Amino acid sequence: MESLEKMYIDGQWVSALAGKTRNIINPADGCVIATVVEGAAEDAQLAVAAAKRAFYEDGWMETPPVERARLMFALADALEQRTDKFAKLETLNNGKALREAECDVGDAAACFRYYAGLATKPHGQTYDVVDPMQTLVVREPIGVCGQIVPWNYPLLMAAWKLGPALAAGNTVIFKPSELTPLTAIKLFELIEAVGYPKGVANLVLGAGNTVGQEIAKNYDIDKVAFTGGTTTGRSIMMAATGNIKNISLELGGKSPNIIFADADFEAAVDWTLFAIFINQGEVCSAGSRLLIEESIHDEFIERLVERTKKIKVGPGLEEGVEMGPLISETHMNRVLDYVELGKKEGAKLMCGGQRILGDGLEKGYFVEPAIFTNTTPDMRIVQEEIFGPVLVVQKFKDEKEAIALANNTIYGLAGGVFTQDGAKGLRVIKKLRAGITWINAYNPTYNEAPWGGYKQSGIGRELGTFGFEEYTEVKQININLDPSPIGWFKN
């Protein structure tokens, strides 16, 4: 990368008004990999002014859907053509294994394609109401949208946010995590290259408590969309009350992965590893609570521990690595603190949970994947989102207890059930208070299907037609086909 990476505001690559910069770190070795400009509230305000002008005055709001689709298809193609470059950069900045980063780039391009296609599809309704009236219902873009994303899927979250917003005709101020801005910067270079008009898509770099808060509270922003922790989500929600912003929140989880004794044993073990340890466990939907039917508990844990110990942890760019470092030293320490807490609370650590200091990994933020058994529902490690490679196991006797334990959480993002009894699988899933669920699988995500949570896991849905609708206002248009006087008042 070049020596100083800038932000993209109103079609220009600019420095921060205050002249500040920030070093970006490779979590695999703690080295500086780039220096980026560090914006603040006043930079965000410039972006908001540009987005407002682009929407209301420059005509983006009236751009034909076919043109919005053309630009987004071009963006998807440009991104896909650079898969290697983007994947390597994502791994360098976030730490994840390269094969995961490659999937993320493919998924991001597919997400842009999905929304490019959706831009031109029918979105309205018509009703014959009372003769001679005809009612049309149309969907219109909301206006200026602020979007704030976390560090766990930097590029993919950018696609999930920018795809539906731009396809629906909004203008955008996008803020990546201060820790992981690099692929977003490269994505905005492509946004510029494919020809999005100036001011339509703006990239503001900076911290959550400055740029993020400005986005949440700015009165000229009509909608704020956020992915991240529940505590941050709550503060964004409060800041957004000033002008009654439309909000979408995709927050944390402590999602149950329920294994019944009649499940395909090896398949369930395999998916359980995928449920919790993909992306170092830094996944909002992670199956971070494993609920196992009592009769297979010991055998299942034995096999799971055996396989967990074989997960190859190392720098994501290294051949054969299956799990990378955690995102930062601060976050690593937070995860390690949870491991200590789990031991103090009386849970049994079956494997892992230590920082990895040998094999040349001592400068990175590597943690061995960990599994806790002998938990009780009230333990903090069972209730709180750890957001790392730490699995907590809970035992259940029957279906009823499984459901009760599964729902015993403030969260409601995701959940999975493994059983060979199809009716039981569906019965249990229907009782789960969660928005994203799987039967005999865990984690696969599809652009077509809505993504989001119940309870404190969020508000609204991303992806699918639901995600598109989140970026639209609904207007009714009532047309009198026989425009004669109504005659209500007699004189």
Catalytic residue set: 250, 284
Q: Write down how long the chain is.
A: 491
Is 152 a binding residue for ligand NDP by CB under 6 A? The answer is yes
Distances (CA, A) of 205 to 35, 185, 230, 240: 11, 9, 22, 20
> What is the torsion angle, in degrees rounded to the nearest 10, for the CA atoms of residue 479, residue 485, residue 486 and residue 491?
160
DSSP 3-state of 375: coil
Is 453 a binding residue for ligand NDP by CB under 6 A? The answer is no
Please give the angle made by the CA atoms of 67, 68 and 69, to the nearest 5 degrees. 85
Is 341 a binding residue for ligand NDP by CB under 6 A? The answer is no
Judge contact between 258 and 225, C-beta under 8 A. Answer: no
Query: Can you tell me the distance from the alpha carbon of 190 to that of 115, in angstroms, rounded to the nearest whole number?
Result: 17
Is 284 a binding residue for ligand NDP by CB under 6 A? The answer is yes
DSSP 8-state code for residue 125? E
149 vs 247 by CB, closer to ligand NDP? 149
Structure tokens of 244?
């009654």
Is 476 a binding residue for ligand NDP by CB under 6 A? The answer is no
The distance of closest approach from Cβ of residue 110 to ligand NDP in the complex, given in angstroms and rounded to an integer, is: 20
83 vs 383 by CB, closer to ligand NDP? 383
Single out the segment in contact with ligand NDP by CB under 6 A; choices: 170-178, 315-323, 367-375, 394-402: 170-178
Structure tokens of 272?
């359980």
Specify the DSSP element, H or E, that contains 127: strand 125-128
Single out the segment in contact with ligand NDP by CB under 6 A; choices: 3-11, 99-107, 223-231, 290-298: 223-231
Is 90 a binding residue for ligand NDP by CB under 6 A? The answer is no
Q: Which of 95, 146, 163, 208 binds ligand NDP (CB under 6 A)?
A: 208
Q: How many residues bind ligand NDP (CB under 6 A)?
A: 26
Query: Which of 448, 462, 456 lies closest to 157, judged by CA?
Result: 462
Sign of CA dihedral 80, 84, 90, 96: positive
The distance of closest approach from Cβ of residue 417 to ligand NDP in the complex, given in angstroms and rounded to an integer, is: 22
327 vs 405 by CB, closer to ligand NDP? 327
Is 117 a binding residue for ligand NDP by CB under 6 A? The answer is no
Is 148 a binding residue for ligand NDP by CB under 6 A? The answer is yes
Binding site for ligand NDP (CB under 6 A): 148-152, 175, 177-179, 207-209, 212-213, 216, 227-229, 232, 235-236, 251-252, 284, 385, 387
